[in-house]
Chain A
């Protein structure tokens, strides 16, 4: 590759990175726009609390979809975006947690603690948050090097976070017997997991068959 080509390639990469970054910020920008135009509805706190929860889940599913996307679509570069998607997941989880602490509890720690202890619905949400916090805190290359093989093990917890997030969402909708959305998001999660299992099994099958060759 010529130097000019390489420089052009780097610039294109940077452009794409910024585009992806802006894409991730869109939900936040939408809230700011709705807030500025007075369009957050009659219960803005409830809207922001729910919307931030939904976007946390969407980002989490996007993060989990990137590896399957390589296998299914042949998009080799897909897994490179896992870091950014994962950090956006954490970003929206932080906003969701802030909305809960400020809007529901006016940041009164005792109330928040009681809420967590008394309600499995909340406790599960907090568990998801703690997992995402641990993953975000160890998302840097340095942390990856330091943790070595442990890093992968730790980051497999993302599936647990996904499952618990669906449970949290399910409970939230339980009062209205309104299962459509949790089923939809849960279905996507199961599908993404299934793709990984199939890919893994196929790889193992291939490996055993290759080793059995004379």
Chain B
């Protein structure tokens, strides 16, 4: 069961939360299929116990963590984050977890560590999507080390006060609220600190559509649609207008300094 979490109001939005039903029924998790109802329909067979996470690479103390130890590693916080999918829809999700930095400090990154890669589990018997070469498996994502250490970068174990449902990335996942949703890898088994910028699954699949940074940016359009606005799931009726998308998904005050002097058009 999920231990009691305290709301981190400073890092939470007070916007209306998206219904639990929508958050857990409408999402992408290609290992279970490419349709947005596939994860909920297919994820039941995912084995989330026993579960270990290997944290390795450019660290002084590489270590394999058991999920039950990770659940106790730091105090659980509730963080209500906006989630902006690259497909131009958005939600507001009350995650439960703690900053990823708590975990990374445990393994003591070396001075050589500059980036962090995240790998999702491969359970072929439970994940029918792995049979299709939609992406290169295992699903691999990455952050720059300073992004990974940023307090907003959440290692999430639950949502709405409960443990994560399988379809949302049980038993643990990332939630990086200023980046498009696909950066927040799910069902993590490996976290590796590396020297060079890693290639991610999406960069290999469609480099002109998905860059390494993938910061939410209304000024950089996707080749097939505009990113200037978004559909908030569950908000209003058929003719409710879309919302304007904010730079860094509205988290610019906290994170814009990470990208000072960078051309965000080129580094999309």
Contacts and interface: CB of A to CB of B under 8 A. Distances in A.
Interface of A: 35, 41-46, 48, 102-104, 106, 111, 114-115, 118-119, 121-122, 171-172, 174-178
Given A175-B206, A178-B34, A42 B234 contact: yes
23 contacts: A42-B22, A42-B233, A42-B234, A43-B26, A43-B231, A43-B233, A44-B238, A45-B231, A48-B238, A103-B238, A104-B242, A106-B241, A111-B226, A115-B226, A119-B223, A121-B224, A174-B206, A174-B224, A176-B30, A177-B134, A177-B135, A177-B205, A178-B134
Contacts of A48: 238
A143 B89 CA distance: 45
Contact of B231 (A46, A114, A122, A176): A46
Interface of B: 21-22, 25-26, 30, 34, 36-37, 89, 133-135, 205-206, 209, 221, 223-226, 231, 233-234, 238-239, 241-242
Contact of A46 (B34, B89, B221): B89
B230 to A, nearest CB: 11
B250 to A, nearest CB: 21
A172 B239 CA distance: 23
Given A175-B206, A178-B134, A42 B224 contact: no
B238 A177 contact: no
Given A102-B239, A106-B242, A172-B224, A177 B133 contact: yes
Nearest to A42: B26
A177 B134 CA distance: 5
B134 A119 contact: no
Contacts of A104: 225, 242
Contacts of A111: 226
B26 A176 contact: no
A102, A114, A118, A175: most-surrounded residue (chain B CB, <10 A): A175
Given A115-B226, A175-B206, A175-B209, A43 B239 contact: no
B34 to A, nearest CB: 5
Contact of A175 (B133, B224, B233, B242): B224
Contacts of A46: 89, 231
Nearest to B209: A175
Given A42-B22, A45-B231, A118 B206 contact: no
Nearest to A48: B238
Contacts of A41: 26, 37
A158 B41 CA distance: 39
Contacts of B225: 104, 115, 119
A40 B30 CA distance: 22
Contacts of B226: 111, 114-115
